[in-house]
Amino acid sequence: MIREAKKTDAFEIADVHVSTWRHSYRGIMPQTYLDALCSETRSKSWGSRIEDPNTYIKVYTVGDVICGFIAGGVCRDENLAGFDEIYAVYVLPGNQRNGVGLALTMAFLDEHPNSCSLWVLADNISAVKFYRSVGFHPDGHTKKITIDGKELEEHRYIRLSPNNREHKTRR
């Protein structure tokens, strides 16, 4: 079941976030960084985001347990005015590849009919394949980020709304 996140979900969302990063980014991000991630610390940040009326956060539950979430809102990239953006989609490793991420992503896209963007680590091949499967494609924009001394590359993907099939981004 998909529902809006509540402030009381902050720790569980943080736990999904940390568990997913440790699983999905193994071999991509430095292991020392992944090992140091802390659900308690992340829960404070997620609590603030949940209370932000400009941030969309929904969770996917099985029973009373949160097994995935999506966060998004208005696109943060200046050259994509009028776009929405998916900031994060994370699903517990044991629930991946069974429709949870797809359900969360489609719920976001259904509620945000504008064109949409997201950033994905170039080396996260499973995420790249997933985003391509739901209609996102790279638009040529990249950025470098450094995590615990390791430089990583992110690629921006976009999914155009039916009313915006001719959009050209400004560089």
Number of residues assigned to the chain: 171
Angle between helices 39-51 and 10-24 in degrees, nearest 10:
120
Domain ranges of the chain: 2-164
pTM value?
0.92
Residue 142 in tokens: 């990249």
Fold of 2-164: Aminopeptidase (3.40.630)
- Give the distance from CA 40 to its chain's centroid: 20
Residue holding tokens 């069974």? Answer: 98
Task: Identify the pLDDT of residue 79.
Answer: 94
| Tens digits of residue pLDDT in 122-132 | 999 999 999 99
Q: What is the mean pLDDT of residues 101-107?
A: 97
| Tens digits of residue pLDDT in 25-82 | 999 999 999 999 999 999 999 999 999 999 999 999 999 999 999 999 999 999 999 9
